Amino acid sequence: MDLGLKGKTAIVCAASKGLGRACAHSLAREGVDVVIAARTEGPLMDTARFIAEDTGVKVIPVIADVATEEGRAAVLAACPTPDILVNNAGGPPPGDFRDWDRDDWIKAIDANMLSAIFMIKATVDPMMDKGFGRIVNITSAAVKAPNDILGLSNGARSGLTGFIAGLSRKTVCRNVTINNILPGPFDTDRLHATIEAGAKQQGKTAEEVANARRTQNPAGRFGQPEEFGDLCAYICSAQAGYLTGQNFLIDGGAYPGTF
Ligand code: NAP
C-alpha cells in the first residue's frame, strides 16, 4: 500500500531510540524527510545516519530537549512547517505520589503534556492553511489502564489526552488529524530499565521479571518497535484523513476490556 507521503516532511521528537526512532524510520521508508530530535548526540547521529542510508531520504538530527522552550525552538528552526508531527518524550520515573513535590509534577507535565501542546501550537495553523497535516502523540497504555506506580505518567498523559480530544475535532475539517498511540510493553531501553527496577524491588533477576511479563501478555511477547512505527506511518497516511481524536492501543491484547 502506498501511503501517499512521498516528499512530505516530518518532525519526530525523542527519536534517537525506541518508539520515536521506529516512527521516524517507518515514515522515512515512505519517502518522508525527517527531522529527529533527542538530547544525547551519539545515538542521535547514529540513528540519523542509519535512517538516511537505509531509506535515502533527508534526515536532519537536532540535539534538543523537547521538554524545554529552547529545545522546541531548535527543532522548529530546522523545520518550521512540517506536514507531520510526532510528539514524544521520555517517560517520568515510577514512584509513590507521597514522595513527589511540585517540581516532580511540573517536570512530568512539561515533558508529557506541555511539550506536545506547544509543538502543536507552533505547527497546526500552517498545516490547516495548506490542507494537510498529521499529528501523532506517543502516550501510554497507562492512559487507558493506569499503573499505580506511574502516577506522574497517568496524570500528565491524561491531561494531554483530554486536550487532544477537543482540538482534534477542530482541525479535521482542514485535513489535519490528531491522534494518540498508546504503547503497551515494547522492547526498548525504557522497558528494560523498568524491568530492572522492578526486579530489584522484587528481589528477582531481570530475566525472571521479563519472562513473567512476556507470559502475562496474550501475545506471549513484547511488541517490536517496528510494529509501532508502521502503525504511526499508517495514521499519518493520505488515506487516514477521516481518523481523528482516537487513542490507538497497541499492546498485544493486554488490555482486557471489550471496548
Ligand atoms: P526509550 O527507548 O528510552 O527512548 C526514548 C527516546 O526519547 C530516546 O531517543 C531519548 O534520547 C529521547 N528523549 C527522552 N526524553 C527526551 C526529551 N526531553 N527531549 C528529546 N528527546 C528525549 O523509550 P521508548 O520505550 O521509546 O518510550 C517512548 C515513550 O513511550 C516514553 O514516554 C515512554 O514512557 C512511553 N512508553 C513506552 C513503553 C514501552 O514499553 N517501551 C510503554 C508505555 C509508554 P535522549 O535520552 O538522548 O534524549
pLDDT profile of the chain (259 residues), mean per 10: 97 98 98 98 98 98 98 98 98 93 98 98 98 98 92 96 98 98 96 89 94 96 98 98 98 95
Ligand 1 mean position to 148 CA, how many Å? Answer: 20
Ligand 1 atom 41, closest CA: 186
Q: How confident is the model at residue 194, as a pLDDT? A: 86
Ligand 1 mean position to 110 CA, how many Å? Answer: 14
For residue 217, CA distances in Å to 15, 47, 113, 226, 250 come to 26, 30, 28, 18, 12
Q: How confident is the model at residue 149, as a pLDDT? A: 87
Provide the 3-class DSSP secondary structure of residue 177: strand
Q: How confident is the model at residue 147, as a pLDDT? A: 87
Residues with CB under 6 A from ligand 1: 14-20, 37-40, 65-67, 88-91, 111, 138, 140-141, 183, 185-186, 188-191
The three three-digit cell numbers of residue 127, written as one number: 498545516
Q: How confident is the model at residue 226, as a pLDDT? A: 98
Ligand 1 mean position to 89 CA, how many Å? Answer: 5
Measured CA to CA, the distance from residue 178 to residue 164 in angstroms comes to 7
For residue 226, CA distances in Å to 22, 92, 167 come to 5, 23, 28
Residues 24, 12 contacting (CB under 8 angstroms): yes
Task: Return all residues near 179 (Cβ < 8 A) that are at least 6 apart.
Answer: 135, 136, 137, 164, 168, 235, 243, 244, 245, 246, 247, 248
Measured CA to CA, the distance from residue 19 to residue 216 in angstroms comes to 22
Task: Return all residues near 217 (Cβ < 8 A) that are at least 6 apart.
Answer: 184, 185, 251, 252, 253, 254
The three three-digit cell numbers of residue 71, written as one number: 529545545
> Which ligand 1 atom lies nearest to the CA of residue 15?
9
